[in-house]
Amino acid sequence: MTAPKKLFIKTYGCQMNVYDSERMAESLGGQGYVATDTPDDADMILLNTCHIREKAAEKIYSELGRMRPFKEANPDLKIGVAGCVAQAEGAEIMARQPMVDLVVGPQSYHRLPELEAKVRDGQKALDTDFPEEDKFEHLVARPKAKRGPTAFLTVQEGCDKFCAFCVVPYTRGAEVSRPAERVMGEALDLVERGVREITLLGQNVNAYHGHARGLSGLIRDLAKVDGLERIRFTTSHPNDMDDDLIAAHGDCDKLMPYLHLPVQSGSDKILKAMNRKHTAESYVRLIERIRGVRPDLLLSGDFIVGFPGETEADFQATLDLVEAVGYGQAYSFKYSPRPGTPAAERAEVDAGEADERLQRLQALLTRQQKAAQDEMVGREVTVLFEKPGRLRGQMVGKSEYLHAVHVTSDKVGRGDLARVRIVESVRNSLAGEVI
């Protein structure tokens, strides 16, 4: 037997890329690769990339630049680019950075074994197809080894919403759902391997239609699986929150009280220009309905400031919406024009102005996040413990609300669920005592 080759994967972007990186590593496992956590001794380096904002894409080229010494030290090293930059830029990547051997898009990485053979043969390999066949059916079976207590599971890919700023419909293609039986099979397999919490993933996960009753139908079936204790899903679009999915937040115990529901802006004029197809008012009403069935829901959101045409009054409407809704978690970004999207053709807001708005919005969101975390002090939560903490005897896990919680206790280990009383809110986590 030959010595195993070493694979270093670096993942950027969203959770879907985290899931894809796992599947790519498994796929190359069949070609004799084992994962390594440093590029120093790797035989193959794969960057699984994100194209969502300009900075994200540019980061890849600087990262590739930093790979040069590794290639010089080891001429047999193969360098690959996967993910959304691969899809968006294709052969352009090899033109700009000739030491790249392999470019593979998010919908064609099940073909990695053949592509790897090609690069081992000294050729360049490029595959950015949106193939007819189902990628998931062609991926190697997932290994049976034990794994940690939480896992991502991609159930839906692509997006048909075409928000005017967004590259995802172009890099990930049209909306496709995996059949519920296949998702259930993968979930059962994960549970057998020690997983107790599954986060269902999709660019637009609540548009899932692989189950006759949509995403809530899938969640309700998953809730019947013994050993699976927690279910989450991300990312959702407000227009796809149907009645039963809202109801599930009230009556499905295993569905966690945390919802990421991006709104992007609080101004109807901007929402229209973004092609979001909802208003600020309809979003606020929707949140009220969900909180009606689950009052303790922790809400998370995404915001874009400085979208073309955004005035100070439009921005103020975003601040007003944030004040009205109250977020426990949030991600906010300065608008970044993406080639090929409709908004990229429009006149931009002054960059200094946009920076200043971003700071004001982030100050407000940070205040809300801190308040939501501080409010937990004195409360009892359930924590799924994932790993040892930084200090001796410490264990760290997540509450229902996705807050990081640490305890010092020898009563809990990895994969345990325990009731914990929160005693202190520190910078990025909560300190608790096992009850």
- Which spans of this chain sit near ligand SAH (rule: CB under 6 A)? 52-53, 159, 165-166, 168, 203-204, 235, 237, 262, 264, 302, 304, 333, 335-336, 338
Q: What is the CA radius of gyration of the chain?
A: 22
3-class secondary-structure state, position 55: helix
CB of 168 to ligand SF4, least distance (A): 4
Residue 19: alpha-carbon gap to chain centroid? 9
Is 14 flagged in the annotation as binding? yes
Tokens of 246: 């809202």
CB of 59 to ligand F3S, least distance (A): 11
Is 166 flagged in the annotation as binding? yes
Q: Helical H runs in 147-231?
A: 168-171, 180-192, 214-222
Q: Which is nearer to ligand SAH, 36 or 332 (CB)?
A: 332
CB of 15 to ligand SF4, least distance (A): 13
The entry of ligand SAH, ligand SF4, ligand F3S, none near residue 162 (CB within 5 to 8 angstroms by kind) is ligand SF4
Q: Is 428 exposed, middle or buried (0-12, 13-18, 19+ CB in 10 A)?
A: exposed
Q: Which is nearer to ligand SF4, 15 or 409 (CB)?
A: 15
Region 129-168 residues binding ligand SF4, contact defined as CB under 6 A: 159, 161-163, 166, 168
Tell me, what DSSP letter sits at residue 404?
E
The entry of ligand SAH, ligand F3S, ligand SF4, none near residue 171 (CB within 5 to 8 angstroms by kind) is ligand F3S
The residue from 105, 106, 149, 169 that contacts ligand SF4 (CB under 6 A) is 169
State the helix-helix crossing angle for 280-293 and 312-325, rounded to 10 degrees: 10
DSSP code per residue over 241-254 = --HHHHHHHHH-TT
| Chain length of the chain | 435
| Sheet hosting strand 5-11, strand order edge to edge | 33-35, 5-11, 44-49, 78-82, 102-104, 125-127
First to last CA, the chain: 52
Binding flags for ligand SF4, 218-257, as an x/- string (CB under 6 A): -------------------x--------------------
Summarize as ranges the residues that interact with ligand F3S (CB under 6 A).
13-14, 16-17, 50-52, 83-84, 167-168, 171-172, 203
Is 252 flagged in the annotation as binding? no
